[in-house]
Structure 1
Amino acid sequence: MPRPASEDKAASIADASAKNWVDRFAPAPLLPYLRLARADRPVGFFLLGLPCFWGVAFGGLSTGAPYPDPYLLLLFAIGAIAMRAAGCIYNDIVDRDIDAQVMRTRSRPLPSGQVTTAAAVVFMLALCASGSAVLLSLNSFSVLLGLGVIPIVGLYPFVKRISYWPQAVLGLASNWGALVGWAAVLGSLGAAPALLYAGAVAWTIGYDTIYAHQDREDDELIGMKSTALRFGASTKAWLTIFYGVAWLAMVGSGLLAGAGIVFVIGMSFAVAQLGWQVATLDIDDADNCLTRFRSNRDFGVIVFVAAAADMTLASLA
């Protein structure tokens, strides 16, 4: 049964949906751990998992497959759930003292004391083991490629202490699955996956800049850096550049992989979604920023559906 509305209210996470399934249904002993794993905020799973799906779909386009490999999609979905959770826990461990100083993050399980650091480390290692099992199910090239992201993931939470571009490092880390997804299909890389990856990195810089505007004032006070602070009032112009680069690179990647008119039509809807984000963004309204950040799940789904539909219709021609 759903938990009474008043229960655990003080411990709820600021940017989680008020009706998320974790706060409503999770047993009390598991609640802090599910929050630590961001199970109450599933959009991050999509933002990590969808680039993997793109890689599988674009790789399938290049082989003339009628649809993206469902077995690979399942593996990457499981891996994205595990590794997104592990990555968030790692970031929270590194940032626990900083998070305690930021209004939006001080209620998270580590800075609020709901979960000890030792327990968080054990949980993170268990999730990493699950993600490793998924990776080892792929071909040997993909396994080696997947391991290559570890130094980038390790670096990410420290970048905001020294640079205004942590969003770029996040992009390098969170979109690595686009390369691994392609490699899982073909056992190699090439120009198309490289272009897809570059576009995905630009996309992440855009959406995470929007997200970072929620913490702009707190970050400035405690000395943390972000593209939100770097771009400031010029954010919309910068977003137009990064989203434009992202869309052009993804379209170019799809065409190099063998996509046709169906994919291009689908990508016209994708660019309209990005345009809506920029046109309606209010960087001084945290709720507005959070809504537009979350909407990038829709963008990612559109790109995947465009590639998958092109594959299927081409196979029927």
Structure 2
Amino acid sequence: MRVLGIETSCDETGIAIYDGERGLLAHALHSQVDLHAAYGGVVPEIASRDHVRKLIPLLDTCLAEAGCERGDIDGVAYTAGPGLIGALLVGASMGRALATALDVPAVGVHHMEGHLLAPLLEPDPPPFPFVALLVSGGHTMLIEVTDIGRYRLLGETLDDAAGEAFDKTAKLLGLGYPGGPALARCATDGRPDAYRFPRPMTDRPGLDFSFSGLKTHTRNLWAERRDSPGAQADIAAGFQRAVVETLVIKCRRAMQETRCGHLIVSGGVGANLELREALRRAGEKAGWQAHYPRIEFCTDNGAMIAFAGYHRLAAGETEPERIFARPRWPMDELRPPGEAASRP
């Protein structure tokens, strides 16, 4: 079965083609970073309009790379949520229209399930069961995964997600957009122990996260020290270290609780090199292994949607002939492929 994947949940336009026997045949991604940089964040209307402009050219690029025609597509998977409603509707509309025109099934994919399964695209994927740390955009969560579609939420953020905290702190420090990579670059010139930063919610049991207090602490520290030599880099380094150590502490607890031998890390923050190194050291010490998708699949992409959609379509899951998009979609509503509950 050959599945076309479409990702338009936010500010990346992704297209990919996945074959059940041959694996990933092609993928193409367009980032809107330059469009939104002038505004310091994603502008939903601009994002939606750019998806409209880029989807068909990216589809043609992928088909050419895969050596396929549109008629060779056996199913369509598109991101149905969560995400920006206008952006989601662009991808959902195209996905539903293509499926109808080609007389093939279509399925709406949960964006976070795509991220969760992205490491399984690698040549040496982790075996089930594993724990997943999903750190993408407005989401930070720990999930125990026993199979595709069988997920148990272990903990999640109670306010700001790690990615949001990175972006807002970068903006506070005047580091530009996108904030996460800009802050990480600035942190390389700083001293992470120059100032004291809290490790939120690590002094109590449980696996939930909270980063709003850390963000407030950073704002107050910057207001006090902004004129000090090297303060920008030192604060960036200290903030990054606090986020990384908080995530690592919670991951260690999750691995102890579940007794899993494998942790996967996915989402944009999963590309952070300090986080990767800290989790590698923690895993070596405790006897578990951390896995990541390749850097290009940490951010939003069509390959993860094509892969997740393939497993659901191959199990006989399909959507009725309508456009399905949910800006908010709890992961606990997901079921194993072929056992999905009816769409609300």
Using the size of structure 1 for normalisation, the TM-score is 0.30
Q: Which has the higher strand share?
A: 2
